[in-house]
Amino acid sequence: MVEYTGQARDTGLRIKTELASRPTPSAMATPAILLRDVNLFYGANQALYDISMDIGERMVTAFIGPSGCGKSTLLRCLNRMNDLIDNVKITGKVEVNTLDIYGPKTDVIEVRRKVGMVFQKSNPFPKSIYENVVYGLRIAGINDKATLDEVCERSLRGAALWDEVKDRLDQSGLSLSGGQMQRLCIARAIANEPDIILMDEPCSALDPIATVKIEELIYALKEKYTIVIVTHNLQQAARVSDMTAFFWLGRLVEYGQTSDLFTKPKEKHTEDYITGRFG
C-alpha cells in the first residue's frame, strides 16, 4: 500500500503529460471541466489525492473503479454536493467552463443549475410528472404556463419519455416504473438546460432493458451535453463512454480514451481491475 503511494503520484504526473501530448478530440482544447490537484478530506480522512484531469466537452466520460475508490466523491465535487456534508475540506481547483466553482464569489446555486445531476437511486419528488419536470423552473421563479408546458414537453422528449407519459402528466412521478423514473430524473435535469450532466451509477437499480434505454439516451444526449458517468458496470463504461478514468484508493490511476484503456491499459492495476482480478 505504502509502496503504491509513490507510484500513483508518478502515474498522475505521467497521465497529465500524456494527455497534453496525445492527439485528443478537438474539444479537449477547451475542456468543459478542469481539475487541478484536487484533494478532499472527510475530517481527518483523505478521500481524494491530487486529482488533476480535463474532461472534454460534449463527450461521455466514465469514472470506474472499485467501491470506495472516490469516484462518486469526485463526481459530487463537480456540482458542490459535497458542501452538504459536515467537515468536508477541498483543496485544489475545479473549473467548469472556465468558472472556478469553489471561488469565493461563486454562487453555488448557479453552479448546480449549470451542472445537473442524476442519482443512483431515482428520486422523483412526490409530485406529478409535470411538476417534477418543471421543478427547476418553478424554483427559479418561472410560472408562465406556456413556458412551463413547452419546457416540459421538450425535456420529456429529450429524455425519451414523452410518448410514454404524455397522456398522464398529472399522475404522480412515483407511479412510473424504475426505468421511467430514472428517465424522468434525467428530464428534470435537462429542463434546467445545464452544460454538464453528472450521473452517479444511473442504471445500477434497473433491469437490462431499462438499462439499454438509458444508455441509448446517454448516447443521444452527448450531442448537446457533456456527460460524466460513474459506473460499476465495465461493459457499460465501454459501451457508452468516449473517455474513461480509473480510480483506486482515492487516486486517479489511469485516464484515457475508452478504447485504449480497455484494450491496452498502461497500468498493471487497471489491467487487473478490468480483467476482473480484483474489485
Site residues, another protein (CB under 8 A): 79, 81, 84, 109-110, 112-113, 116-117, 119, 121-127, 135-136, 138-140, 172, 174, 178, 181, 185, 188-189, 192, 205
Question: Is 59 or 134 the residue whose CB approaches another protein more closely?
Answer: 134
Question: Is 64 or 184 the residue whose CB approaches another protein more closely?
Answer: 184
Q: Which three cell numbers stand for residue 180?
A: 421511467
HSE-CB of 203 using CA atoms within 13 angstroms: 22
Question: Is 79 or 211 the residue whose CB approaches another protein more closely?
Answer: 79
Q: Which three cell numbers stand for residue 187?
A: 428530464
Q: How far apart are CB 167 and another protein at their closest, in Å?
A: 20
Question: Is 89 or 264 the residue whose CB approaches another protein more closely?
Answer: 89
SS3 assignment, position 34: strand
Closest by CA to 49, choosing from 57, 58, 41, is: 41
Residues paired with residue 198 on neighbouring β-strands, in sequence order: 117, 228
Phi, psi of 276 (to 5 degrees): 85, 20
Q: How far apart are CB 105 and another protein at their closest, in Å?
A: 17
Q: How far apart are CB 7 and another protein at their closest, in Å?
A: 35
End-to-end CA distance of the chain: 15
Question: Is 75 or 261 the residue whose CB approaches another protein more closely?
Answer: 75
Q: How far apart are CB 193 and another protein at their closest, in Å?
A: 11
Q: How far apart are CB 181 and another protein at their closest, in Å?
A: 6
Phi, psi of 271 (to 5 degrees): -60, -45
